[in-house]
A and B are shown apart, each in its own frame.
Chain A
């Protein structure tokens, strides 16, 4: 992690530290470093309960008090609240310190039930552990302990035992400080103090599970883990969450081949230890009884269990038949965003190198073109969340789709002085933290973005955005300190991706230094695109037309022509032009924005081969269903939205005979007479880092080295930026940022120099490093944007990978004054199998309602909650209607991913926007 390396590698170069003496040894602490941290960094662990390095210290539990002498004689000070000052002398083992700590522990235990034998925390409990290491042997308390009803639910997922609570304020601080959901509080006073929620205000937070993880005792327990295991029965492996593309690092814990718990792992560049509740609790789906455990083949209307040999043979025959009759273009491969990189690579190689079809798409028509995702200058989460930086969010609601990115953005705004400008079709979960939210009419996001950067557009009224808000946002952009970052994604599937692409073109042109963070949400969609699972692409972010020759040499063949994307494939299938459709963990009926098209495609295509974890609506229509290994069941790597590759861990075996998708690809190839020579994920990865230009040098050794805990950004030329969180306590002043940038630059200087020396190219590297140090310093000092030249210099060092060069402005669809435009967004808890197959999460999917601005609502003349009919040219559905001030006039908003309501049946994927009419008083 950047922060540690910096200090260890360059302690003498940038020494703004202070000398402190801890237990007789003089050590150097960083400027402003808390004593508790400095001591720990130098091997002295001071016991603690309330202190948590990712939250503001409160100094409440008093466990960390130690004797400190700052020149006025020793006194007891809480080391979690005390910044190191020069020549401080600390004694963590003195008699006074020891007695005080023992005393605190005894106090904590007087009202503690000590029901360790039946407590989930037993065996991994800081209270147990620190009582053993720093506590008194026996309690002298003989009075009655405090008794309270227990456990009580504080949310659907978390239970509270107030007797065990030691009132450390961690959960409460997390709720208000980190999650922004201040719903758990201290109630009452003194010895009667307790943690609780207010009546009818449960801790309904997407992040509630984190409180269970950070509670230092067994007071907070997760409904899914309670009484399931003892820590010493669990074994664990580190992995990366596959429930969205943020790629939070996790520890997967299992006992007897069953995953029982997921914990967040603290990595600096990504999740800081936090997880969202979906990522933390949807592991229950792994253990679901409904997992596919054996292949199925269609016999008439039924799917019947079959052996692998039969199923694979049937699939291979269908593919061979298609090749014979219609050629490679009659085969389509849809999906792959939930696969590992290795799976995705194997499928690309099989599809493009063996079948010869370029009809591959890891996205389901709900994302953005790959050249936009991969070809814009990319930002890391840390860059986006840079203290004092400016971020433009053009995309989906991060709170619903990329929850931990939401936490990082929120932190950047609330704690680190970042400025956030949001452009969205309706207010979102991040709007409360945006300095300005510009709501645009569906289909007119680029118009708003044009206005934002000061260009004139086609729309007479700024795409529906408020003119004064646009003015304010423009001023913010003008005042931005350093380069702007853009979070870019698809806010609504009821409008064409072209509009966002257009907006990206505008931003790229108008803000030359801007970097982009992709907000595509499926877990490994970025990895699948990297691996070439998109029309016209090959592994390593290169185009078929540019790099076809090299891959043809390695693979034997590549497709002759650029193929179809998801929309194209489904259209071809619906029109009878596809013979085989392969679904790689894809459920187009649920996820493709245009349900009618997906329906027709699946009904028409002669053969569907699906590899899946569950029988979904789509895979249930397949002719051959192959059970796949999923999260925690296979090894490999994954790539998050930053383009950061990290290692997945296998902890359990897949159910029945389910197997990894790369094996399925290799087997099918073998049955069709091709030996791909792919034998293990590791071997596949070796091939990837040899062949895929963007992945050169990202060896297994590098990925598995301890410095790569957080993963490795590809291509390797990309720099890990300075850690975003320099100081979480105070808003960071401009000078601090500048200082940090200079320090980082100087530190990088040495680091790079050392590395380069080892490779014998010291001179060149030093040159680069020195230039960069200069650049960074300049940027920091002059607070002007870096010149375009710098950008090019960085880009030119990498291989000739995909670049997005912008598109001409998209013409606006004419507005129909009588109808509303549909906004189709997602909620975190959805109809997907991860949520629906997890008993704890499934009930949390909110279902869908139609949300209208009060103005449009009142024109309907109905009561809130009454059912209305929403009709588009494509279809109609019945749904309750409610008022939502966050939806602008002229728009009608629905959640697309809720069980029981196929909102995508309203959408025509070929149309630019979806016009709907809302009708009342219809009987059926």
Chain B
């Protein structure tokens, strides 16, 4: 993270007073960030991470945890929001925990992000075809069907999932389950 982007109000004021340019909004812009954390695989370690967010008043939009290829290590994906200064603080506070092995902010670098969701929607003979059409467009899977409801499975970037759920809203959504996001940096092509 570039240090120059982390501006406090005091710093902005100082720059203004000195007539120095400030990138408009760059420092104060509140953005979503996806942070990945490698942490010791124990409940205590996970709680410490989450507790840090709670105790310091940082925000968590979504969180996922799962083992990695090394079973003693878990990977967490945390989606949070904040301006540059807050995100920098979050990264530093995370790195400082004894049980965190690696902390990385994926936002701003090239990465793939996916979420999985299950949606149970009621259908009638009239709505059935339209519901199936939406599902086809989104390339979802039907994982369960009963005489009055479908259960769809859909994976993709979060906006796609949001859009799918929005399209289903006019019909009777019975239940939604979302996994939260997982992400991974794209590999570089070898030169």
Bound pair (A, B): no
